[in-house]
A and B are shown apart, each in its own frame.
Chain A
């Protein structure tokens, strides 16, 4: 243990000492919630719209460059100067790495097409991405879609491998996406069924079709606060029963709500204070509190 260094008052800085060293919990970076501004919902429609918008923007930019060039050329000719350089069409930069982003592609898989034929209007979107099949159905048709996937002789998705959800606070028409990852053991295939649900909507439970959904849906309820209709036991599973709020929603801070407000990190016994005074003393800053006299 080194001797504690008494804080020294630097010359000309004696007045207005800074207050005691207190950790500002409210201002801590872990407490700050930055709500997402975008809705990162993978979708072929959105992607295609983005691509078309990007192409249009590029085209407009190129046209503007050409127009600017014509104006500059005419101006240079009128003034008798050398003509400016003609513009070069910008090409996308090539990255020198082993990455190939998997973009969404139109559905070619027979399973997806078959599902679309059977469900008809209920299917909102089908696409493939990174070798995975996604079928987005209307939220009321979830049970129907799962039943077909399980019982149709051409599909035979026997196992529900995983069920989870994502919170999209920036979206207007919905608040959550729910995904069901189905596995066909006999056909060695995977399929993702997705629905979009607004706040307060209760989708039908998949427990009657896939009993493995029991705990998965309980976890989804526990973490995101989506209740499932006709679920045998819709209670929390990982958090305690009296837990408030839903941890995986985006407005929930990483350090938790409430629990850490107990001042267990508060400066009991003045340890933090002493360290701060030491450090400040070494740096020549006066942190000493003004005393009564």
Chain B
């Protein structure tokens, strides 16, 4: 089994750079990784089982706890999945507000990724800069729904309430400062020699392997595949938005960094369009107080900051709970690519690879 100079070490589950409770079993030959096995499940809460025993309205609250840095994206997937199951048509204004908040959440999630990823690699300052802007976004979420992290922002059929007074002004203030703040991060990192040494050519995975392993999101787009669910299967108000899918051909950690920065710019564009073209009207569809489903199954996927977030529902005749609920978590599937990325490379690259995959363990273990 082992060569005499090989040894096996555990990275995690309490290592700060594993972003939660990820354990990676590594077999090393000196500094080189020979074999890598991710071990997950330390945060398993049985979310699918719980949601089967909650009503469609109650289950949404649990989705906040999956990818806790992008709770609004999780909410969007849940409410749209349930709306598809029941055939509910949502008012246009609600769809615009949903789009806007989801994009804000994408920026917040990418900022957290940038902060922690840079911190893992050794660039401490970016952390403070990125959290400064994330704070502004969390204030906006708090203004909208009273919570900063576990938002439960949307309701099945629309929104609970319209935008609060002053929200648009506050959002426009954020929009005004954000592009130059993004440039600030770029001056810190993009041409930084140490940053480039740690990221260029590190943790490569090509487009073919990405597709075979089901990898989605920025990792796939950094491998040159322009697959974005917002364009491919548009929901909410994405069909009416004008934005691009940033891609890079290099498929390394640096390319993913550039793709995520470009995605923040595109999100900024979408938010601007939502603010400018916000239609008037109601924000809630007419739906019964108790939703009773028919026999039906749907798979609804949205583009979460980490990739394709899919919800699979099976409805029972007259059931107020989903008969079966399953989450296709992007981090869960993306993490499968970790061995492919780092086997044969150096131990220090493992940290960069985990960071660049942008995994959230609450979503992997559910």
Determine whether the beta carbon of B336 is less than 8 Å from that of A212: yes
Chain B residues lying within 8 Å of A248, measured Cβ to Cβ, are 48-49, 52, 324
Which residue on chain B has the smallest CB distance to residue A254? B53
Of A179, A211, A238, the contact of B312 (CB 8 Å cutoff): A179
Determine whether the beta carbon of B214 is less than 8 Å from that of A160: yes
Which residue on chain B has the smallest CB distance to residue A42? B297
B163 to A: closest C-beta gap in Å:
21
Determine whether the beta carbon of B312 is less than 8 Å from that of A162: yes
Of A38, A46, A99, A158, the contact of B211 (CB 8 Å cutoff): A158
In Å, the complex CA distance between A161 and B302 comes to 12
Chain B residues lying within 8 Å of A247, measured Cβ to Cβ, are 46, 49
Q: Is A185 an interface residue (CB 8 A)?
A: yes
Of B40, B326, B335, the contact of A162 (CB 8 Å cutoff): B326
Chain A residues lying within 8 Å of B233, measured Cβ to Cβ, are 188, 190
Tell me the number of A-to-B contacts counted with CB atoms below 8 Å: 139
Known: A40-B319, A238-B40. A211 touches B287 (CB 8 A): no
Q: Is A252 an interface residue (CB 8 A)?
A: yes
Determine whether the beta carbon of A98 is less than 8 Å from that of B316: no
Q: Is B129 an interface residue (CB 8 A)?
A: no
- Contact string against B for A residues 149-166, beta-carbon threshold 8 Å, 1 for contact and 0 otherwise: 000000000111110101
Chain B residues lying within 8 Å of A212, measured Cβ to Cβ, are 212-215, 333, 336
In Å, the complex CA distance between A102 and B88 comes to 10
- Contact string against A for B residues 71-106, beta-carbon threshold 8 Å, 1 for contact and 0 otherwise: 000000000000011111100000000000000000
In Å, the complex CA distance between A185 and B215 comes to 12
Chain A residues lying within 8 Å of B363, measured Cβ to Cβ, are none
Q: Is A129 an interface residue (CB 8 A)?
A: yes
A-B contact pairs, 25 of them (CB 8 A): A38-B316, A40-B295, A40-B314, A40-B319, A41-B295, A42-B314, A98-B287, A101-B294, A129-B296, A130-B84, A159-B211, A161-B301, A162-B326, A162-B328, A166-B324, A167-B324, A179-B297, A179-B312, A190-B299, A192-B299, A212-B213, A214-B336, A238-B40, A248-B324, A256-B46
Which residue on chain B has the smallest CB distance to residue A211? B212
- Contact string against B for A residues 17-48, beta-carbon threshold 8 Å, 1 for contact and 0 otherwise: 00000000000000000001010111000110
In Å, the complex CA distance between A51 and B258 comes to 55
Of B87, B227, B310, B332, the contact of A130 (CB 8 Å cutoff): B87
In Å, the complex CA distance between A40 and B85 comes to 13
Of A100, A161, A162, A236, the contact of B87 (CB 8 Å cutoff): A100
In Å, the complex CA distance between A16 and B285 comes to 57
- Contact string against B for A residues 88-131, beta-carbon threshold 8 Å, 1 for contact and 0 otherwise: 00000001111111110000000000000000000000000111
Chain A residues lying within 8 Å of B211, measured Cβ to Cβ, are 158-159, 185
Q: Is B1 an interface residue (CB 8 A)?
A: no
Known: A102-B296, A129-B296. A38 touches B317 (CB 8 A): yes
Q: Is B252 an interface residue (CB 8 A)?
A: no
Which residue on chain B has the smallest CB distance to residue A103? B294
Chain A residues lying within 8 Å of B301, measured Cβ to Cβ, are 161
Determine whether the beta carbon of A252 is less than 8 Å from that of B49: yes
Q: Is A71 an interface residue (CB 8 A)?
A: no
Chain A residues lying within 8 Å of B227, measured Cβ to Cβ, are 185
Q: Is B362 an interface residue (CB 8 A)?
A: no
Q: Is B308 an interface residue (CB 8 A)?
A: yes
Q: Is B232 an interface residue (CB 8 A)?
A: yes
A112 to B: closest C-beta gap in Å:
16
In Å, the complex CA distance between A38 and B317 comes to 8
Of B286, B308, B314, B324, the contact of A97 (CB 8 Å cutoff): B286
Determine whether the beta carbon of A181 is less than 8 Å from that of B314: no
Chain A residues lying within 8 Å of B296, measured Cβ to Cβ, are 42, 101-102, 129-130
B338 to A: closest C-beta gap in Å:
11
A193 to B: closest C-beta gap in Å:
12
Which residue on chain A has the smallest CB distance to residue B319? A40
In Å, the complex CA distance between A98 and B285 comes to 6
Chain B residues lying within 8 Å of A256, measured Cβ to Cβ, are 46
Chain B residues lying within 8 Å of A223, measured Cβ to Cβ, are 48
- Contact string against A for B residues 289-332, beta-carbon threshold 8 Å, 1 for contact and 0 otherwise: 00000111111010000001010101111010001101010001
Of A97, A237, A252, the contact of B41 (CB 8 Å cutoff): A237
Determine whether the beta carbon of B50 is less than 8 Å from that of A181: no
- Contact string against A for B residues 29-54, beta-carbon threshold 8 Å, 1 for contact and 0 otherwise: 00000000000110010101110110
Determine whether the beta carbon of A239 is less than 8 Å from that of B41: yes
Q: Is A132 an interface residue (CB 8 A)?
A: yes
Considering the complex of A and B, which 3 residue pairs feature the smallest CB-CB distances, nearest first? A212-B214, A162-B328, A98-B285
Determine whether the beta carbon of A98 is less than 8 Å from that of B49: no
Chain A residues lying within 8 Å of B326, measured Cβ to Cβ, are 162, 164
B61 to A: closest C-beta gap in Å:
16
- Contact string against B for A residues 239-272, beta-carbon threshold 8 Å, 1 for contact and 0 otherwise: 1100000011000101010000000000000000
Chain B residues lying within 8 Å of A214, measured Cβ to Cβ, are 336
Q: Is B157 an interface residue (CB 8 A)?
A: yes
With most chain B CB atoms within 10 A of its CB, the pick from A131, A162, A166, A210 is: A162
Determine whether the beta carbon of A101 is less than 8 Å from that of B87: yes
Of A95, A98, A161, A179, the contact of B89 (CB 8 Å cutoff): A98
B211 to A: closest C-beta gap in Å:
5
- In the complex, given contacts A98-B89, A98-B287, what are 20 additional A-B residue pairs having Cβ atoms less than 8 angstroms apart? A42-B296, A97-B287, A100-B89, A101-B294, A101-B296, A159-B214, A161-B214, A161-B299, A162-B328, A166-B323, A179-B297, A181-B312, A188-B232, A211-B212, A211-B336, A212-B213, A212-B215, A238-B41, A239-B44, A254-B46
Chain A residues lying within 8 Å of B288, measured Cβ to Cβ, are 95, 97, 99
Known: A190-B233, A254-B50. A185 touches B225 (CB 8 A): yes
Known: A100-B87, A132-B298, A240-B41. A161 touches B314 (CB 8 A): no
Q: Is A62 an interface residue (CB 8 A)?
A: no
Determine whether the beta carbon of A185 is less than 8 Å from that of B333: no
Q: Is B365 an interface residue (CB 8 A)?
A: yes
Chain B residues lying within 8 Å of A216, measured Cβ to Cβ, are 333
Which residue on chain A has the smallest CB distance to residue B157? A98
